Every structure is written in C-alpha cells, then in structure tokens.
A and B are shown apart, each in its own frame.
Chain A
Amino acid sequence: DAKTTQPTSMDCAEGRAANLPCNHSTISGNEYVYWYRQIHSQGPQYIIHGLKNNETNEMASLIITEDRKSSTLILPHATLRDTAVYYCIVRVDDYKLSFGAGTTVTVRA
C-alpha cells in the first residue's frame, strides 16, 4: 500500500514557484522521502530526496517537517516543461520505492 497522499492535481503559473505538498504520516525513522516526476510517456525522472534535513539541488527544494510526517517539493520558477505527474515516494526496506498516485501539475502561461 502507498505510504503517501498527495493532491490529485494543481495548476501553477509559469515563472512562479510551485509548492507540492505530500503527507507521509506513517513514515518510519530510517525511510527516505523521494520525489520523481513523469512527463507524458517517459519513465519516472528523479528530482530530489531527503531524510530529515531540507535539501536543495538544481531542480528543486525539499522541505521536510520536523516530525517527518509531511514534506513539500518546491519548484522555484515553474516552466511549461515542468508540466508532469509528480510522485512523492517513501523508500521502504532500504531499496523499495513505494509510489503514490501522484499530483498532476499543469503549468500555465
């Protein structure tokens, strides 16, 4: 069973920040949070991951709450090419990715 819940969909204006929430209230202490996205018919594309601390890379930032029961993915300046399904994922058993249903993000001009 999926360990994450996300909004089904959200819209974002081009050039603005997109904040994608995710709940993972049953996450265990050593389970990482990963974010991937899937653009149309491509395979899932890695975005970022973290355990406890906030993380940032060239694509996005990941904010994890202190109790680790939720997190937010931030796309700082959304572009039309960021339109995709975004998956918040918990890594269980040290290697297995538990996908949820994802959030369909539509970036509008």
Chain B
Amino acid sequence: ILNVEQSPQSLHVQEGDSTNFTCSFPSSNFYALHWYRWETAKSPEALFVMTLNGDEKKKGRISATLNTKEGYSYLYIKGSQPEDSATYLCAFLSAGGTSYGKLTFGQGTILTVHP
C-alpha cells in the first residue's frame, strides 16, 4: 500500500502571509507527482504535474518543488489571499507496471486565509 502523507492537516494564515506545506511519498518507483487545488463545493483542479527530481513549477503566486530521492514535494503560496482558501491535494503515481494512471492521493492540507 502506497503511503502519501501531507502536512499540516490544516493551516490558518492571515492575508498577505506566505505559507508552505509538504507532501511525502515513497522514494522508490517514482513516476509523477501531482498537485491539485480543491475549493469547497467544486471539483479538484490540477495545479502542477512534476516528473523530474529537482523540478520547480510556478503558477502566479503558487510554486512547487520536488525531491524524488528523499520523497517529498513542497507547495508554496506567496502573499496568500482569501481566494487561496481551499484544500490542496498531492497525488503520487508509481512507476510500477500495474499502476498505469492510478494516482494515490494524500489526505490534503486545508488552507484558510483570513482577511
């Protein structure tokens, strides 16, 4: 059973704060790591797909880094805004042949940005 852990479980920050959270995944048989943003009453939306060790991706104020050798990824949000409030999910894809497109999701980090 693949273990994908996210920390912290929840986070409350003030508008303008920068924040980051962690996704830990198995360091063997790595194929890809996804980040999704899930707003209440909506469906998860893809932020980043990362495939190479050392990858860094950026979209606006949100960025992510990847370390496949030690099995972790960080998601950073610079200057948080109330509209950033959401659950952030990471998902791991193993290189194992039977995994194919099977993403294993973490439990998510719930971010609340207070005005």
A and B: partners?
no
Q: Which residues of B line the A interface, CB within 8 A?
A: none
State the A residues within 8 Å of B (CB).
Answer: none
